């Protein structure tokens, strides 16, 4: 299912302007928190900030439950371990890069990357490398963009520019509908299962829940195409022929076997199923 612009525009809110400003800022902070987890390896400052009692308490209230591997490990060691886990998850061959092009199209720097670059450009942003060069459609960058947009929305509201606020909100909705909404929720479930570390597991869960909450809040209905499925059900794959069939055994027949008998031995159920499916 895709979202229509009408649906985006008809989202209503009953909060006061001040409450909306506060909410925008709070949401922007969560986006930044998540962006920090997925953009690159966590810095000491970032980890110290999260492990501060205040943040830990507020995260716990949201349901985030870090394990002892996060809370009880010396900070330098933790940073080192999480850097290695970051590499395993997002950088090294065989991992699952947090990049929309890869998630949805199976290769780096495809159409989503260029579409998003264009969206950023129109909004007046360009992506520059932090510690490492990064693709525009990388998860952390998408989240950082949304945080910036929410800051703008808050500023617009605070200065009484309601029209500006509406336009920015519309951009945020559109962005969710066209990009992160298509992959982030499913990807979050995958990450939560893939990682060995409670930090990434909890952050992934938070990401998934927050994404759903945001989509509900914004009134954006968009199917998650990623799905985070472990395996594709066999039934969804159409075979041209049976891949288990040996290369040439179907041509071989024992002495005295006639063609009709040989034909009976060939499994044509897949072909039949395919033909019936077409009917």
Partner 1 sequence: MFEMNRRTFLKVSGGATAAAIAAPSVLSAMEQDLGGKDFSPETMAERQAIPINCHFCNIQDGAIAFVENGRIVKLEGNPEHVSTRGRLCAKGNSGMWYTYDPDRILYPLKRVGARGEGKWKRITWDEALAEVAQKLDAAIKEDPNSISLKYGRNRSGGVIDRFMNTLGSATVINHTSVCESSKKIGMEPTWGPDIETPDFANTKYILNFGSNIMEAAYFHNPYSQRLVEGTAENQAKLVTFDVRLSNTAGRSDEWIPVFPGTDGAVALALGHVILREDLQDTDFIDTWCNVSTAQLKAHYKQYTPEWASKLSGVPAETIERIAREFALTKPATTYTYRGPAKHLYGSYNEKATMMLSIMTGNVEKRGGYCMPRGMGWPQPQPEPPKPKHGSDMAHPHEYPLAGHKVSHLLPLFIAEGRQKVNVHISYQDNPVYTNPGAQAYWGKLYKDEKLIPYYISMSPFMGEETALADIILPDAPYLERWEPESMPNSLWPWLGIRQPVIKSLGESRENRIMMRDIIWKMDPDGKRGMKKYWNFKDGEDYMRQHFDNIPGLKEAGGLDFLKKHGVWPIYGKLNPRTGKISDKTGREIQAEFGLHEKEVSAADMAGATVDGKGTIHKNGKAIGVRRKGKNYSGFGTGDRLINVRVDKWAEYGFNPMPTFKQIPWHKDMQADEMILTTYKVNIHKQSRSSAVKWLAEIMHSNPVWMNTEKGAELGIKTGDLVRIESSVGHMVTKAYVFEGIHPKVVAIPTAFGHWEYGRLATLKLKEKAAGEFGGQDDADLNNVWWEDKGVHPNAIIPTVVDPIGGSQGWYDTVVKVTKAGPTDKYGDVEGSWEKHLAAAKETMRYAYNGDLHRKMHPEMAAWGGPGSVKKSEGGGH
- The first and second tokens of residue 264, run together, are 């009976």
- The first and second tokens of residue 253, run together, are 């027949």
Binding mask 141-180 for partner 1 (x = CB under 8 A): ----------------------------------------
227 sits near partner 1 (criterion: CB under 8 A): yes
Alpha-carbon distances, residue 234 vs 104, 120, 219, 245, 263 (angstroms): 19, 39, 34, 16, 26
When the beta carbons of 102 and 215 are compared against partner 1, the nearer one is: 102
| Contact present, 75 and 48 (Cβ < 8 Å) | yes
- The first and second tokens of residue 143, run together, are 């989240």
| Contact present, 202 and 190 (Cβ < 8 Å) | no
In angstroms, rounded to a whole number, what is the distance separating the alpha carbons of residues 153 and 27? 11
74 sits near partner 1 (criterion: CB under 8 A): no
Segment contacting partner 1 by CB under 8 A, of 14-22, 25-33, 91-99, 169-177 = 91-99
| Contact present, 177 and 2 (Cβ < 8 Å) | yes
132 sits near partner 1 (criterion: CB under 8 A): yes
257 sits near partner 1 (criterion: CB under 8 A): no
Half-sphere exposure of 76 (CA within 13 A, CB side): 0
When the beta carbons of 164 and 227 are compared against partner 1, the nearer one is: 227
Binding mask 186-215 for partner 1 (x = CB under 8 A): ----x--xx---------------------
Question: Contacting partner 1 (CB under 8 A), which of 4, 108, 160, 275?
Answer: 108
When the beta carbons of 145 and 187 are compared against partner 1, the nearer one is: 187
Q: Which residue has the tokens 């909404």?
A: 181
Q: What are the residues binding partner 1 (CB under 8 A)?
A: 40-41, 80, 83-84, 86-88, 91-97, 99, 101-111, 114, 131-133, 135, 190, 193-194, 226-232, 237, 239, 243-244, 246-249, 252
């Amino acid at each position: 299912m895709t979202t229509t612009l009408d649906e985006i525009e008809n989202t209503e809110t009953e909060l006061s302007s001040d409450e909306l400003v506060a909410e925008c800022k709070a949401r922007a902070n969560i986006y930044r928190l998540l962006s920090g987890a997925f953009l690159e390896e966590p810095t000491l400052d970032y980890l110290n900030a999260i492990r501060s009692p205040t943040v830990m308490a507020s995260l716990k209230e949201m349901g985030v439950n870090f394990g002892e591997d996060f809370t009880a490990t010396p900070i330098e060691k933790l940073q080192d371990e999480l850097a290695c886990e970051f590499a395993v998850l997002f950088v090294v061959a065989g991992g699952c890069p947090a990049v929309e092009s890869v998630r949805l199209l199976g290769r780096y720097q495809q159409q989503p990357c260029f579409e998003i670059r264009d969206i950023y450009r129109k909004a007046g942003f360009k992506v520059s490398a932090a510690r490492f060069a990064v693709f525009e459609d990388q998860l952390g960058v998408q989240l950082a963009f949304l945080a910036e947009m929410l800051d703008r929305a808050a500023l617009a509201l605070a200065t009484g520019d309601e029209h500006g606020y509406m336009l920015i909100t519309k951009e945020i909705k559109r962005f969710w509908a066209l990009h992160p909404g298509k992959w982030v929720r499913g990807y979050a479930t995958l990450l939560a299962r893939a990682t060995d570390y409670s930090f990434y597991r909890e952050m992934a869960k938070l990401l998934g829940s927050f994404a759903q909450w945001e989509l509900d809040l914004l009134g954006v209905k968009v199917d998650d195409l990623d799905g985070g499925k472990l395996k594709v059900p066999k039934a969804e794959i159409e075979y041209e022929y049976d891949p288990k069939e040996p290369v040439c055994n179907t041509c071989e027949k024992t002495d005295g076997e006639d063609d009709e008998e040989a034909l009976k031995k060939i499994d044509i159920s897949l072909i039949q199923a395919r033909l019936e499916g077409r009917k």
